[in-house]
Amino acid sequence: MSDLNTIIFGLVLIGGAVGGAAVLTWFERRLLGIWQDRLGPNRLGPFGILQVLADMLKLLSKDDWVPPFADKVVFVFAPTAIVVAMLLGFAVVPFSPDLMIIDINIGLLFFLGMTSLAVYSVLLGGLASNNKYALLGGLRSAAQMVSYEVFMGLSLMGVVMLSGSFSLRDIVEAQSDMWFFIPQFLGLYVFLIAGIAESHRLPFDLPEAEHELTAGFHTEYGGMKFAMFMLGEYLGLMLISCMIVTLFFGGWLGPWLPPVVWFFLKVFIVICFFILLRCAIPRPRYDQLMSLGWKYMLPLALLNLLVTGAIALSMEG
Partner 1 sequence: MLKSLRSQLTTIWTILQHSFSRCETVQYPEQKPYLAPRYRGRIVLTTDPDGDERCVACNLCAVACPVDCIALQQGTREDGRWYPEFFRINFSRCIMCGMCEEACPTNAIQLTPDFEMCEYDRQNMVYEKEHLQIDGPGKYHDYNFYRVSGLAIKGKDKGEAQNEAQPIDVKSLLP
Name the H helices within 201-297: 210-213, 223-248, 259-280, 286-291
Least gap, CB of 288 to partner 1 (angstroms): 10
Indicate whether 185 belongs to the interface with partner 1 (CB under 8 A). no
Indicate whether 276 belongs to the interface with partner 1 (CB under 8 A). yes
Nearest-angstrom CA–CA distance, 195 and 188: 10
Q: What residues contact residue 205 under an 8 Å CB cut-off, 6+ apart?
A: 216, 283
Stretch that binds partner 1, among 7-15, 33-41, 63-71, 230-238 (CB under 8 A): 33-41
Least gap, CB of 281 to partner 1 (angstroms): 6
Nearest-angstrom CA–CA distance, 86 and 99: 18
Q: What residues contact residue 289 under an 8 Å CB cut-off, 6+ apart?
A: 144, 197, 204, 206
Indicate whether 280 belongs to the interface with partner 1 (CB under 8 A). yes
Q: Which is nearer to partner 1, 109 or 186 (CB)?
A: 186
Indicate whether 65 belongs to the interface with partner 1 (CB under 8 A). no
Stretch that binds partner 1, among 205-213, 217-225, 275-283, 307-315 (CB under 8 A): 275-283
Q: What residues contact residue 161 under an 8 Å CB cut-off, 6+ apart?
A: 305, 308, 309, 312
Residue 122 near residue 85, CB atoms below 8 Å: no
Indicate whether 37 belongs to the interface with partner 1 (CB under 8 A). yes
Q: Which of 178, 281, 303, 310 binds partner 1 (CB under 8 A)?
A: 281
- How many CA atoms are closer than 13 Å to the CA of 195, on its beta-carbon side? 28
Interface mask toward partner 1 for 142-181; x: CB under 8 A: ----------------------------------------
Helix (H, G, I), strand (E, B) or coil at 8: helix
Least gap, CB of 35 to partner 1 (angstroms): 5
Binding site for partner 1 (CB under 8 A): 34-39, 276-277, 279-281, 296
